[in-house]
Amino acid sequence: MNSLSTYLIISALLFSLGLLGILQRRNLIGMLISVELLLNAANLNFMAYNRFLVSDPVTGQVITLFVMGLAAAEAAIGLSIILALYRKMHSINIEAAQKMKG
């Protein structure tokens, strides 16, 4: 269909939007959403290489499935940590979480 570099540019754009989100938000759930965007950009790269370059197309799909599983685990753990942190310090502004600062 389209060339490999089209997909690579799209995923680079998605990754840099997610990076901007992580660097610029202070809401913890916003940062979690940005992490999901980063993981999806990486997945899109895997699938594009898988379609255009590789001789055995199973590998990229399996890796994409594994990344999805890990992202699900990461979202569950991240949300529960955010809830625990909110109960502890009554705010989800990450700059309030500095109890371990010396």
Partner 1 sequence: MDTSGLNFILQAAFWVTVALTIAGASIAVFPRNILYNVLGLALALTGIAGFYLYLGSLFVAMMQLLIYVGAICIAIVFAIMLSRPLHIEVPPRPARKVWMGILASVVFFIGAVGVALKTKWQVAAGHVYEASKWSVQSIGDALLTRYELVFEVISLVLLVAIIGAVITAGFSRRLSS
**What residues between 2 and 61 interact with partner 1 by CB under 8 A?**
2, 4-5, 7-10, 12-21, 23-27, 29-30, 32-34, 36-37, 40, 43-44, 47-48, 50-59, 61
Interaxial angle between packed helices 28-52 and 58-89, expressed in degrees from 0 to 180 and rounded to the nearest 10: 180
Angle, CA 29 vertex, CA 28 and CA 30 arms, to 5°: 90
d(CA 1, CA 89): 51
Q: Shortest Cβ distance from residue 38 to partner 1 (Å)?
A: 11
Contacting partner 1 within 61-100 (CB under 8 A): 61-62, 64-66, 68-77, 79-84, 86-88, 90-93
| Per-residue tokens: 73 | 């685990």
Nearer to partner 1, 17 or 102 (CB): 17
